[in-house]
Structure 1
């Protein structure tokens, strides 16, 4: 059996902005993007141009990890929480600082990036889309 787990970020109408943000902040590569309007839809339920422009699915690649970003369906409420975070592991404190600074732009600092007993540089931010990221630096071998 092959098992793959991918983070899936749902936002409320700002997926295009989130994709651009993660491309800049994380150096993500956009592998796939489909709008709601590009997918199948019921002709008996017409959509506005704004609804058609919402992102139904996208796939981004950061390092060796694929993650997904989409707009939440209009008929399902979106709730924010920090029960799930995305942990980014890097080799150097310089890389950690760059990612941390990029992700905190427009967001909030949960834990300042600083040395910790388990990492030369560790911090947590909630980005402007409500997604919580941990930035973790490996200990030198």
Structure 2
């Protein structure tokens, strides 16, 4: 079992520009890039068409480090809260344990659950105001 921390940027709609900039400025390699338009949609609450080209998820490799980012789909994204920490592990039970430990005295932003991209994912802001995304890889 491994655990690693990855900075995660929440952008206000310019995610594709950010990716192109980091490719040039930091010699970043794009490991994955998926727009909201390419992701499975919930038929009960489809996203507005203007968000189709927004980045739903991007994963970059910069030297020996990783960086992830996506475009926010709501108005809560503003300077000061654009960086979260993604904790990635290959073990669902370990991910769940980390999620529950971090939520003590904090706030659950997205409950820990199976998603189309992960067997276990959730987002929590801890009691110190730091937001973590917990993701199970694989």
Normalised to the residue count of structure 1, the TM-score between the two structures is 0.53
Shift of 1:79: 2.6
Aligned pairs for 1:58-137 within 5 A: 58-74=58-74, 76-81=75-80
Q: Number of aligned pairs?
A: 84
Gaps of 5+ in 2: 84-138
1:59-91 deviation digits (Å, cap 9, x = unpaired): 0000011110210122x511322897xxxxxxx
1:7-36 deviation digits (Å, cap 9, x = unpaired): 111110000000001111101011100111
Normalised to the residue count of structure 2, the TM-score between the two structures is 0.54
Q: Which has the higher Rg, Structure 1 or Structure 2?
A: 1
Cα separation, partners in 2 of 1:82 and 1:37, compared to 1, 3 Å: closer
CA contact (8 A) 2:10 2:82 kept: no
Gaps of 5+ in 1: 85-141
Partner Cα distance (1:59, 1:82) in 2: 19
CA contact (8 A) 2:9 2:82 kept: no
> What SS class does the counterpart of residue 33 from structure 1 fall into?
strand
Cα separation, partners in 2 of 1:4 and 1:37, compared to 1, 3 Å: same
